[in-house]
Amino acid sequence: MYRLAALLLLSILSVNNSPTIALAQSDAEKHDAIRPIPREGGWMKRHESMNERVEKGNVDVVFIGDSITQGWEGRGKNVWAKFYGERNAVNLGIGGDRTQHVIWRLQNGNLKGISPKAAVIMIGTNNSGSNTPEQIAEGVTEIVNILRHQTPKTKILLLGTFPRGATKDDARRIVNEKSNQIVAKLADHSNIHYLDIGSNFLNDDQTLSKEIMPDLLHLSERGYQIWAESIESALADLLR
């Protein structure tokens, strides 16, 4: 009876091609990719500093993610200044984050009081060692759902999780690719736009150069240039 009721609730909330997923379980029953949880130490300090920034308003675009997104403040700072310095952009990336940490942050102030024109989401690679592609996709879907609920006027540019590892046979790259195939289906070409720019980082033989990702995960300045150039047309359209 319980299972039937849960399935009925899911079907009701899935009308109109909405990506919303109804999760009847309590937080304790959810798998960890969708179970919101904070982290400690410097993570909380950065989270609070991001909340302080958004409270000031004047936010037209947010970048949501993990250390690769936070890296716009490191190796990517010159590219950020060039592409986003005058676009009222806010970096909501924290190193080491998984989908569950981003879910918690978004539920605890990262979007409070703002309605950006656009949000760029790139998250999931830190889940790839412990979660299935399906679980990661559920985590990404929950993040999208939160944005659609909290900031319904915001256009979402959902990026496929970037490739990692030296070759196409890298186990965690394969997980990312499989989860990307699932989350791509969230695109409605109106409020949610999906873009996979992963191939732009790769050589013709699908290998990953350390010139682009020095540790085969995090981007070099050239990598950030590729990122910015690859999304510019799509993001410009959403910011109009």
How far lies 88's CA from each of 29, 41, 61, in Å? 39, 28, 7
- For this structure, is 170 an active site residue? no
How far lies 235's CA from each of 38, 77, 90, 121, 222, in Å? 29, 18, 14, 12, 19
CA R_g for the chain: 17
Candidates 47, 101, 193, 218; catalytic one:
218
Candidates 169, 204, 205, 215; catalytic one:
215
- For this structure, is 128 an active site residue? no
Candidates 18, 31, 32, 67; catalytic one:
67
Q: Is 58 helix (H, G, I), strand (E, B) or coil?
A: coil
Report the chain's terminal Cα–Cα distance, integer Å.
49
How far lies 80's CA from each of 30, 155, 164, 198, in Å? 36, 20, 22, 19
Strands 61-65 and 89-93: parallel
Beta strands across the sheet bearing 89-93: 89-93, 61-65, 118-122, 155-159, 192-195
- For this structure, is 67 an active site residue? yes
Query: Active-site positions?
Result: 67, 215, 218
